[in-house]
A and B are shown apart, each in its own frame.
Chain A
Amino acid sequence: MNELMNLAVKLTICLFGWSGLLFSAPAEPEPVPVRLHVTSQETDHSSPWKRTRESARAGYGCVISPGRILTTADIVKDATMIKVEKRGEKRYYQGRVEVIDYDVDLATVSVEDESFFNDLSPVELAETVELDQPVQFLVFAEPDRIRAIPGAIVKVSVEEYYLSPDRFLTFGAAVNFEDRGGGWSEPVVAGGELVGLTMTYDGQRQYAVIIPAAIIRRFLPEIKPEGYAGFPDPGFFSVPTRDPAFRKFLQLPDNGGGIYITSVYPRSSADGVLEAGDVLLAVDGRPLDLEGYYEDTRWGRLDYRDLFTRFYSPGDRVKLELVRDGETVKLEMVLRRWLLSDYLIPPYSGREPTKYLIVGGVIIQELTRDYLREWGNQWVRRGNKKLLYHNYYNSRRIGPGRERVVLLNRVLPDEVNLGYQGLEDLVLAEVNGRPIGGIEDVAEALRFPEGEFHRFRFEEFDREIVFRAADLEEADRRIADQYEIPRLRLLE
Chain B
Amino acid sequence: MRKLLVSLVCGSVLLPLLSVFALEEDEIPRIRSAIVKIKNVSQRPDYASPWLEKDFSLGRGSGVIIPGNRILTSAHVVSDSRYLEVEKEDSGTPYGAVVSHIGHDCDLALLEVLDPEFFADTTHLDFHREIPPLGSMVEAYGFPAGGRRITVTRGVVSRIDYALYNHSARDYHLVVQIDAAVNPGNSGGPALREGKIVGIVFQGVQPSENVGHVIPITVIRHFLEDLTDGRYDGYPDLGIITANLLNPAYREYLGLPEGKTGVAAAAVLEGHSAKGFVLPGDILLAIDGNPILNDGTILIDGESYFLEEVVERKQVGEEVALDLVRDGEEMIIPLLLRSGRETLRTGNEYETRPEYLIFGGLLFQPLSREYLQAWSDDWSSRADPRLPYYFSYYNQDRIYLERPEIVVLSRVLPAPVNQYYSDLSLEVVERVNGVKIRGLADLEEAFARPAGDYHLIEFDGAGPPVVLDAAAAEAEHATILQRYRIPADRHLAGPAKPVPELPESNLMGSRENE
Contacts and interface: CB of A to CB of B under 8 A. Distances in A.
Question: For the side of the interface on B, what is the size category?
Answer: 35 or more
B503 interface: no
Given A245-B468, A262-B462, A419 B382 contact: no
Contacts of A248: 453-454, 469
A246 interface: yes
B439 interface: no
B457 to A, nearest CB: 11
B247 A420 contact: yes
B389 A461 contact: no
Contacts of A416: 249
Contacts of B396: 459-461
Contacts of A262: 462-465
A456 to B, nearest CB: 11
A460 B243 CA distance: 12
B17 interface: no
A11 to B, nearest CB: 47
Most chain B beta-carbon neighbours within 10 Å: one of A385, A416, A463, A468: A385
A260 B385 contact: no
Interface string A440-473: 0000000000000101000111111111100100
Contact of B250 (A246, A391, A419): A419
Most chain A beta-carbon neighbours within 10 Å: one of B247, B248, B456: B247
Given A385-B385, A389-B386, A249 B456 contact: yes
B14 interface: no
A462 B266 contact: yes
A386 B254 CA distance: 29
B461 interface: yes
Contacts of A388: 385, 388-389
Contacts of B250: 419, 464-466
A263 interface: yes
A389 B247 CA distance: 32
A471 B245 CA distance: 17
Contacts of B241: 461
Nearest to A423: B243
B251 to A, nearest CB: 9
Interface stretch (A184-192, A198-206, A236-244, A308-316): A236-244
Interface string B92-131: 0000000000000000000000000000000000000000
B388 A385 contact: yes
A393 B247 contact: no
A417 interface: yes
A92 interface: no
B247 A419 contact: yes
B249 A466 contact: yes
Contacts of A393: 385-386, 461-462
Interface in A245-285: 245-246, 248-249, 260, 262-263
A418 interface: yes
B247 A465 contact: yes
Nearest to B386: A389
Nearest to A240: B464
Contact of A245 (B267, B397, B454, B461): B454
B244 interface: yes
Given A420-B247, A465-B250, A460 B393 contact: yes
A249 B467 contact: yes
A381 interface: yes
15 contacts: A237-B462, A239-B463, A239-B464, A242-B420, A243-B419, A243-B420, A245-B417, A246-B465, A248-B469, A386-B389, A389-B386, A393-B386, A419-B247, A459-B397, A462-B280
Interface of A: 237, 239-240, 242-243, 245-246, 248-249, 260, 262-263, 378, 381-382, 385-386, 388-389, 391-393, 416-420, 453, 455, 459-468, 471
Given A385-B388, A386-B397, A464-B264, 11 more contacts: A248-B469, A249-B452, A260-B465, A382-B381, A389-B389, A392-B385, A393-B385, A453-B249, A459-B396, A463-B243, A466-B254
